Amino acid sequence: MKNALREIRKHFRVYLALVRMNVMSQMEYRANFVTGILMELGYLVVKILYVVVAFSSGRKIAGFSPDEMLVFIGTFVTATGFYAGLYMMNFFQLSTLVRDGSFDTLLTKPVSLQFMATLRRCDIGIFLVDTVAGVAMTVVGLSRLSGPFEAWRLLGYVFFLLCGSAVGYALYLIPQSLVFRIVNARAIAGISDSFWDFNNVPMVVYDKLGQAIGSYVVPMFVITSFPSLFALGRMSGAQVLWGILAPVVFIAVSRLAWTRGLREYSSASG
């Protein structure tokens, strides 16, 4: 236990050092940094368009008001900050890392390999753009809804948001574990990336089958719809349970996929 805590503290310290290095590297390429933020703002506008549609139609969507839609989409934008700012780049770079041999060097370091390979890179610009905009949208949406917003609800929301972020990490890592077998993992990353946008509308918009698949099979709705449902007080008991279980299950599955892939790597690769 004591050891585990020490390891967690150490990895936290390593992560801080990495964030610092990422920010400094990005400052070296200011054009990339600035235009990267511009691009993320562009994507943000597209996401916000869905809110615009909800408000200017003035209609309820599957029983959810435009303000509630704002909470959903705000949460989606926040989660995108985690995904695009903290994870995605690493997944896209994984195959390069393996091919150019940097992965070999990481293997010899006394630090979690999965941690280093999947969280090494981050883009704080994108992370901030999305989380700030997302939180602002969520707060505006919630404050326009009637009734006080209690502290426990906020805690629960943050809890499910973090659970969702963990599920997102696992869900997008699993296909990437194929990187050790297939050379072109970039295409996989590209395809799984396009699925992310299914969260642009709340899960309630999809039919029963779609909701079931998106909750339990490819649990992308756990990432953004669950926390919103909780904040709006519309999460079912089963969803609460699954919202807590899913991160455990999927982190475990991703860990398994990762170690399997890795075993194959160190016993098969040249």
Does 5 contact another protein by CB under 8 A?
no
Task: Compute CA distances 156 → 132, 196, 218, 236, whole Å.
Answer: 19, 23, 23, 14
Q: Which stretch binds another protein (CB under 8 A): 36-44, 127-135, 170-178, 230-238?
A: 36-44
Q: Which residues contact 239 (CB under 8 A, 6 or more apart)?
A: 215, 226, 229
* 85-93, 132-140, 185-193, 232-240 -> range binding another protein (CB under 8 A): 185-193
Stretch that binds another protein, among 96-104, 135-143, 232-240, 245-253 (CB under 8 A): 96-104
Q: For the CB of residue 119, give the shortest distance to another protein in the complex, in Å.
A: 13
Structure-derived torsion over alpha carbons of residues 136, 137, 138, 140, reported in degrees to the nearest 10: 80
- Shortest distance (Å) from residue 241 CB to another protein: 26
Pick one of 99, 109, 181, 234: the residue that binds another protein (CB under 8 A).
109
Axis-axis angle for helices 220-231, 124-144 (nearest 10): 40
**Residues forming a β-bridge with 64:** 61
What's the rounded Cα separation, in Å, for the pair 83 and 79?
Answer: 6
CA angle 199, 49, 235 (to 5 degrees): 35
- Does residue 108 interact with another protein by CB under 8 A? yes
Binding residues vs another protein (CB under 8 A): 10, 13-14, 16-18, 20-21, 24-25, 28-29, 31-36, 38-39, 41-43, 45-46, 49-50, 52-53, 56-57, 59, 61-62, 100-102, 104-105, 107-111, 187, 190-191, 194-195, 197-198, 200-201, 204-207, 210, 266-270
